[in-house]
């Protein structure tokens, strides 16, 4: 990649075992972002990288493959808004073309090129993206909020009488996919198994490939059913769209929306609830009516965006970014959370950001998240309905005891234990 980059190992399984002192950093001094010790403190590691390298830092991903981690807000925007130089097409990835990313590589399910709008640019991107956005826009926020309200009450009914709950495991993690099954015209019982498979793929585990195959098989069966029996649902709208998507294109876009909507919305709900329960500014303002819930959501999307790191972009030519030499074929990782707290744009992280939507929680540019209005509607309605139903929610443990788990792309709140007055 550059003079600082390591040579590629012949097999990605040859990385040092966890616990080895040399595991966190490679001999060249580069951080291995896939190391458990690094992932346990990604926020801290990213800030160390910013201090050491500035807005663009060399790192390693699974298999000790080299990549650039982009930490600066301006540099992330430059990548997101110039697809001609930083392409979304993974076929530009030098390591992929040279055979360093075999089919069973943990990143293969989310980096191998597929007929998706997120893997193409230009006219083909406009065709596929147009079909997705047109089909999603057929579902008004009002209808989505109706589903969210119904499922929120169902979930609250399950723990309302106990006076205590874990708002991650019993609420946030169970709600978005229930809503998405309605938009997809799927049976609700598909939710739990799909949730498990989606998490497996996004975490890049050794079983990610098998989980990806399960998701593909389930969605192909859905496409077959909707071609035979269309309805008012997202798959049927994609099938009938004049862009003329193939079955493969329809299936893979269903997988894209399902994956992105579930994981990010779970995090957005959980992080908003944590902030409402722990930040005295929000708690006081919400109670006093000085800050709306959408304002609180916006603050959360600055401080704790649903996706931490976005994979990936690939350089189409030699260039320079943040004073680092980028070589054609290099992979770039977009540090969305790190960009949102970039000192260059937020010198005072305690200052509120009301009305400022220049955060990168939903990415930016031509590949900005097409379902952002759905995510906002689900999170806003879920939290609002929950607070109305259980108005005296309070954290059951000290805030310092809350725990997080991290992967390269996501940072999860493990649990959010609360207490409240039991109700029937």
Report how far residue 321's alpha carbon sits from residue 55's, in angstroms, rounded to the nearest whole number: 9
Q: Shortest CA distance to 342 belongs to which of 303, 380, 396, 306?
A: 303
Instruction: Count the Cβ atoms, other than its own, within 10 Å of residue 38.
Output: 21
Residue 360 has pLDDT above 80, yes or no: yes
Q: Shortest CA distance to 363 belongs to which of 331, 339, 330?
A: 339
331-335 and 309-315: which strand pairing? antiparallel
Distances in whole angstroms, Cα of residue 281 to Cα of each of 60, 354, 386: 39, 13, 19
pLDDT band at 4 (very low <50, low <70, confident <90, very high): very low
Over residues 250-277, mean pLDDT: 89
Q: Which residues pair with 411 in a beta bridge?
A: 406
- 154: its two tokens: 């169902």
164-166 and 417-419: which strand pairing? antiparallel
56-61 and 65-70: which strand pairing? antiparallel
Report how far residue 117's alpha carbon sits from residue 123's, in angstroms, rounded to the nearest whole number: 10
Report how far residue 306's alpha carbon sits from residue 260's, in angstroms, rounded to the nearest whole number: 10
Residue 259 has pLDDT above 90, yes or no: no
Q: 312-333 b/e with 16+ CB inside 10 Å = b?
A: bbbbbeebebbebebeebbbbb
Q: What is the pLDDT of residues 301-358, one digit of tens each?
A: 999 999 999 988 999 999 999 999 999 999 999 999 999 999 999 998 888 777 777 8
The predicted structure's pLDDT at residue 202 = 66
Report how far residue 103's alpha carbon sits from residue 210's, in angstroms, rounded to the nearest whole number: 11
pLDDT band at 291 (very low <50, low <70, confident <90, very high): low
The predicted structure's pLDDT at residue 287 = 53
Instruction: Count the Cβ atoms, other than its own, within 10 Å of residue 13.
Output: 11
pLDDT band at 1 (very low <50, low <70, confident <90, very high): very low
The predicted structure's pLDDT at residue 278 = 86
pLDDT band at 47 (very low <50, low <70, confident <90, very high): very high
The pTM of the whole model exceeds 0.75: yes
SS3 241: coil
Over residues 176-189, mean pLDDT: 85
Which phi and psi (to 5°) does residue 64 adopt?
Answer: 55, 35
The beta strand positions in 159-296, using DSSP E, are: 164-166
Residue pair 340/302 in contact (Cβ under 8 Å)? The answer is yes
Q: Which of 166-170, 192-196, 367-371 has the lowest mean pLDDT?
A: 192-196
pLDDT band at 13 (very low <50, low <70, confident <90, very high): very low
Average predicted confidence (pLDDT) for the chain: 86
The predicted structure's pLDDT at residue 297 = 87
Q: Shortest CA distance to 101 belongs to which of 251, 311, 250, 258?
A: 311
H or E, element range at 184? helix 176-184
Over residues 280-289, mean pLDDT: 59
pLDDT band at 23 (very low <50, low <70, confident <90, very high): low
The predicted structure's pLDDT at residue 9 = 34
Portion of the chain with pLDDT greater than 90, in percent: 52
Pick the CATH number of 12-419 from 1.10.10.10, 1.10.630.10, 2.60.15.10, 3.60.20.10: 1.10.630.10
Q: What is the pLDDT of residues 101-130, one digit of tens each?
A: 998 898 988 899 988 898 989 889 899 999
Which phi and psi (to 5°) does residue 121 adopt?
Answer: -130, 175
Q: What is the pLDDT of residues 328-344, one digit of tens each?
A: 999 999 999 999 999 99
Q: What is the pLDDT of residues 130-159, one digit of tens each?
A: 999 898 888 767 788 999 999 999 999 999
């Amino acid at each position: 990649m550059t003079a600082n980059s390591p040579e590629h190992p012949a097999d990605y399984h040859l990385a040092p075992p966890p616990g080895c002192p040399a595991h966190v950093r490679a001999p060249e001094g580069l951080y291995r972002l896939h190391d458990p010790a690094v992932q346990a403190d990604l926020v801290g590691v990213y800030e160390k990288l910013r201090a050491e390298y500035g807005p663009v830092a060399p790192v390693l991903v699974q298999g000790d493959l080299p990549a650039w981690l982009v930490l600066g807000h301006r540099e992330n925007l430059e990548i997101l808004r110039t697809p001609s130089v930083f392409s979304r097409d993974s076929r530009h990835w030098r390591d992929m073309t040279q055979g360093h990313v075999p089919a069973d590589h943990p990143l293969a399910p989310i980096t191998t090129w597929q007929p998706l709008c997120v893997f193409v640019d230009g006219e083909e991107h406009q065709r596929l993206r147009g079909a997705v956005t047109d089909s999603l826009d057929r579902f008004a926020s009002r209808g989505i909020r109706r589903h969210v309200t119904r499922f929120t009450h169902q979930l609250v009914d399950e723990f309302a009488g106990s006076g205590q709950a874990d708002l991650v495991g019993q609420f946030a993690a169970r709600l978005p996919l229930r809503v998405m099954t309605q938009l997809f015209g799927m049976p609700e019982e598909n939710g739990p198994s799909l949730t498990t498979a989606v998490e497996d793929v996004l975490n890049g585990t050794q079983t990610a490939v098998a989980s990806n195959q399960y998701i593909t098989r389930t969605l192909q069966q859905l496409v077959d059913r909707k071609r035979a029996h269309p309805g008012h649902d997202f798959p049927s709208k994609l099938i009938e769209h004049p862009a003329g998507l193939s079955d493969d294109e329809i299936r893979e876009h269903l997988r894209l929306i399902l994956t992105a909507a579930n994981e990010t919305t779970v995090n957005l709900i959980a992080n908003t609830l944590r902030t409402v329960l722990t930040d005295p500014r929000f708690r006081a303002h919400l109670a006093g009516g000085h800050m709306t819930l959408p304002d609180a959501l916006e603050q959360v999307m600055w401080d704790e965006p649903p996706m931490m790191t976005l994979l990936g972009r690939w350089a189409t030519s030699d260039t320079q970014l943040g004073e680092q030499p980028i070589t054609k074929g290099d992979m770039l990782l977009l540090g969305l959370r790190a960009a949102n707290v970039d000192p260059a744009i937020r010198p005072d992280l305690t200052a509120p950001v009301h009305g400022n939507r220049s955060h990168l929680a939903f990415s930016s540019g031509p590949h900005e998240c097409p379902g952002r209005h759905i995510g906002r509607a689900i999170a806003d309605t879920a939290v609002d309905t929950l607070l109305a139903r259980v108005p005296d929610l309070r954290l059951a443990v000290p805030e310092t005891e809350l725990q997080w788990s991290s992967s390269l792309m996501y940072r999860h709140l493990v649990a959010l234990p609360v207490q409240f007055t039991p109700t029937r």
